Amino acid sequence: MRASTAVTAGALATAAVIASALVQSAGDNPAGAALGAALSVSVPAEYKTLIEDAGNTCPEISPNLLAALLTQESGFDPTAKSPVGAQGIAQFMPSTWESHGIDGNHDGKRDAKDPEDAIPSAAKYLCTIADDVKDVPGNKQSNMLAAYNAGSGAVRKYGGIPPYQETQNYVRSITALAGNQSGGTTGKIATSAQAAAAIGAAKKVIGTPYSWGGGNTSGPSTGICCSPKGRSGTQITGFDCSGLTLYAYAKAGIDLPRTAAQQYAASEPVKPGETRPGDLVFYGDSPTSIHHVGISIGGGWMIDAPRPGTKVRYSPMDSMTDLYAVARPKSRLNKEI
């Protein structure tokens, strides 16, 4: 809901606009239909009932979607406050809270820092903005989430997800997290054997050129135009950072999403000191701003595709100053190994 941050992000390069179209082309199903009613996203026990109840406020949302949004907004921290002034577990801006906050626990006060007020308020606000953007073309769930982050006006103005980097990543991350279901063939954390297989696959492509947007489950590929600094991958066969991790884990039988932010949402964070070889190393200052990913090989090193003009290589994990998290891939299995 940090609209002011999103608005200042500016227009993205062509790659992000293409990504927006891909997200929107997923279909017209409301969030509840797409993600199911059961709560399978991990949430703190004290908020489980609140989220299950509020997540059924209207057909456009679900408990999973609401839980994923709260994970993205604050990590379930009711004391969270953003640099632009968003507050509480659902990161309401004061002006938005004034208009849309409700007294969820009926104690006579509306408090954005009280989860018993903020969680049902977030659900009610999602329903309100879902109605605001119901006539906008594209995926209804994606447009609703984009409106929560950037405002309904921006979604209407651009005819879908606005070309703001924060909002693009926000929608992808929440959608990926909300779509992770437990049991069956999904939600399986990579085993040590799969981690070793992924590292082995990454080692075999060391020296492959960096290509913006390059790389898929089959190996290096030509990329797309253009990076935030205008570097094109259309004439380079290689990998970008998430293309490398996508390929390496495909060789291990694990299907990852395409972008670094999506891969973080589809992985299980590990505590400091518990990192093991094969874990993914993410860089950024929030889940919505993750911009780089590598594969840990132990000893403080990783294999990554750093940036345009470089090649797949070994890099120290502290080679970037904004290490955000280490997480273990958790996705559906492609094949047995």
Give catalytic residues, as residue numbers. 73
β-pairing verdict for 323-331 and 221-222: unpaired
Residues ≥6 apart with Cβ < 8 Å to 271: none
Residue bearing tokens 């408090």: 111
Residue type, 50: L
Residues ≥6 apart with Cβ < 8 Å to 10: 164, 165
Candidates 171, 179, 145; CA nearest to 330 is: 179
Candidates 288, 264, 68; CA nearest to 169 is: 288
β-pairing verdict for 188-189 and 221-222: unpaired
Question: Which pairs count as long-range contacts for 83-86, CB under 8 Å and 24+ apart, including other chains?
Answer: 83/5, 84/2, 84/4, 84/5, 86/1, 86/2
Q: Extract the runs of DSSP E, i.e. beta strands, from 101-208.
A: 188-189
